[in-house]
Chains A and B, each alone.
Chain A
């Protein structure tokens, strides 16, 4: 394999692994802060136990999120040095700001939260919980500002002498319309993911009638929390799709396996395309629906892959501009399918957890243990769509991945680091999963003593 493919594999593996941990951090930090707020308001010790119990799961997850984050910060220079040179004037700033505003905050206050139960006043400790929650979400905001520049570059000029992109409008970069969709999307998916994790462990205990007075309210709070989150993800996702058609039409075309321009355009239910990615072999489609989803009216042109390829060639010169259709098509459908199921399951959870009826819904509770996989599937496929759908651009319309990779890092170096990182991340993920199961299925009374 050439260094470029290896570097891409490495980026995708370390980033996907990293994003197993991030959304739980984002969502669970807020969830715990809300519970601790209840504790401080009511003085009810159960809420303190709850904050500590879910805090344990949070910390097991947070540890790996933090350390894998260092790789995220450094790998642009390591594997994508030409990108760092060409885009550094713009891309470096949000990364540095993220560290300065968010990393310090979450990392310092998590120390206060973990070690400060007996050293801080109740209110100070609660403030630490909120600082962790706010800090981690500020971190998400700034990294998404950086990513949004790659998706939809704004606020820059090109230096005529060096060809480098220079920041010309910081405000435009921060208020990139792409951020306004992407950040709420990521925040809300973190909320729903965290809710599903809490519901999974709670369901496990409820099925065994363990500590029902503890896990019933945990489940109820998580169900409400998740329902809000997942409905919001769906809504914002819909708007995001409309934005995508306008700003990254190729990404939407491949996500829909939409080969030829149509007006009104049909929505694919199931499509198989040819190997060359130029036409469909078999397809079931609902007429007009894609136009309707995009323009909220029963007509409107949606450009197809082949026309977009021709347009790109005219603007940027001849080459292949079509991202892998199958990956994007199925990622898009998996994300939406998982998201839909999540809304239904969360809704049932809210409905049934009102009273003790929940304990009798054995089948539902069993499903909920495994349903925690759904949000993980959704966030992973979501990012696969967002990133591979941008191919061949590292920054949309400005720089291709071939021009971005480090020229001076030989393939065997990247192969070695790829192997090392893959093994390390896999082992750590197995360990973290086992620890989370151990603590998530442990007895509350024992945990509360710690």
Chain B
């Protein structure tokens, strides 16, 4: 396997980590205003991801950085082409991160309420926009011979990609609810499960629609024959089981199945893209792939060594963090931090 393929896989792994971890993070943020009846409950919901959200977000930053290092043309084309979408996402993420840290620093309901909106919007907008981005990646967009996309924001907001955005929002909301079912107690946890199941129904319906539409709109599912369908089938089975386990009260299994849905769906998308990374809708020859968009073999070699050493170390201490904070969070102001 050449280094270009290895880096395609590594970038996929980073996006899996990002969608898996930030998936439930965003879900928690989206659910927060609907689940909690009072301020202590809202704080409890936020505190479930309190120690983790920042470390989780680094998966996105690293995915971006790794793309810059390994496929600089992809980084340049995607980030300049999706400029306004990214600006919106950055504003949302800035507000969200500050909101976690600041909302409980003042004992003023107006203050807290404003930051709670920032948490909600700051979670909803990135989830939606990442979905829209993935939709456009699957469908392709108008990249010219110089690897530039000139179309601006409006063509990116096509119905297919917007549907992808809604799939992301509902899937992440389900994923977040499954996480909260494990992290909260009593009535609050029950409410999370109820909301989670409703989100699951919406996610399942939207996903079915999206997959059917994808057969007509893209070549992601059909390009590599049977092989390409394997992760899609696994994602479908995991999604159905997630709902089944959630309904039968097996919270841990529901969370695991929801996670696997995210993992397999991400694999499905990247497998369908490979060896392309950004598909041009103008001319297949203009597409960016793992060769014409890549960094030099020397840079890829250096980065491979760094990644092989440090990705496992990161995994070890992040998993340890989840073990340290494995206890459920009580809606009790004496023990709440954020």
Contacts and interface: CB of A to CB of B under 8 A. Distances in A.
A106 to B, nearest CB: 8
B310 A101 contact: yes
A110 B311 CA distance: 19
A118 to B, nearest CB: 8
Name A's interface SS.
helix
Interface stretch (B89-97, B230-238, B258-266): B89-97
Given A78-B80, A81-B80, A100-B314, A63 B303 contact: no
Contact of A96 (B57, B68, B102): B68
Contact of A428 (B58, B66, B72, B94): B94
B55 A114 contact: no
A105 B57 CA distance: 12
B226 to A, nearest CB: 35
A168 interface: yes
A47 B25 CA distance: 34
B299 A167 contact: yes
Contacts of A431: 98, 102
A77 B295 contact: no
A214 to B, nearest CB: 21
Interface in A301-315: none
Contacts of B76: 77, 81-82, 84-85, 88, 406
A88 B75 contact: yes
Contacts of A274: none
B13 interface: no
Contacts of A31: none
Interface stretch (B178-186, B215-223, B275-283, B316-324): B316-324
Interface string A82-117: 101100111111011111110111011111101110
Nearest to B94: A67
Contact of A114 (B79, B84, B337): B337
A78 B152 contact: no
A314 B81 CA distance: 37
A20 to B, nearest CB: 14
A71 B87 CA distance: 9
Interface string B59-82: 011101111111011011111110
Given A95-B68, A111-B51, A116-B51, A77 B94 contact: no
Interface in B78-118: 78-81, 83-84, 86-87, 90-91, 93-98, 100-102, 105-106
Interface string A112-151: 1011100110000000000000000000000000000000
Nearest to B82: A78
B214 interface: no
B54 interface: yes
Name B's interface SS.
helix
B306 interface: yes
A109 B80 CA distance: 33
A175 to B, nearest CB: 14
B80 A77 contact: yes
A439 B65 contact: no
Interface residues of B, number: 66
A337 interface: no
Given A66-B97, A408-B149, A89 B54 contact: no
A167 B102 contact: no
- On chain A, which size bracket covers the interface? 35 or more
B73 A85 contact: yes
A177 to B, nearest CB: 20
B80 A104 contact: no
B52 interface: yes
B148 interface: yes
Interface in B142-178: 147-150, 152
Contacts of B101: 59-60, 62-63
B33 interface: no
Interface string B314-338: 1001100100110000000000010
Contacts of A100: 62, 65-66, 306-307, 310-311, 314
Given A60-B101, A413-B83, A104 B152 contact: no
B93 A67 contact: yes
B17 to A, nearest CB: 10
A438 B107 CA distance: 12
B1 interface: no
A47 to B, nearest CB: 20
Given A77-B78, A88-B73, A112 B324 contact: yes
A119 B323 CA distance: 11
Given A84-B72, A115-B51, A407-B148, A416 B58 contact: no
21 contacts: A67-B98, A74-B64, A77-B64, A77-B76, A85-B147, A89-B72, A89-B295, A92-B69, A99-B61, A99-B66, A101-B310, A104-B62, A115-B337, A119-B324, A167-B295, A167-B299, A170-B302, A421-B87, A428-B98, A435-B105, A438-B106
Top 5 A-B residue pairs of the complex, sorted by shortest distance between their CB atoms: A88-B72, A77-B79, A111-B51, A92-B69, A92-B68
Interface of A: 59-60, 62-64, 66-71, 73-74, 76-79, 81-82, 84-85, 88-93, 95-101, 103-105, 107-112, 114-116, 119-120, 166-168, 170, 406-410, 413, 416-417, 420-421, 424, 428, 431, 435, 438-439
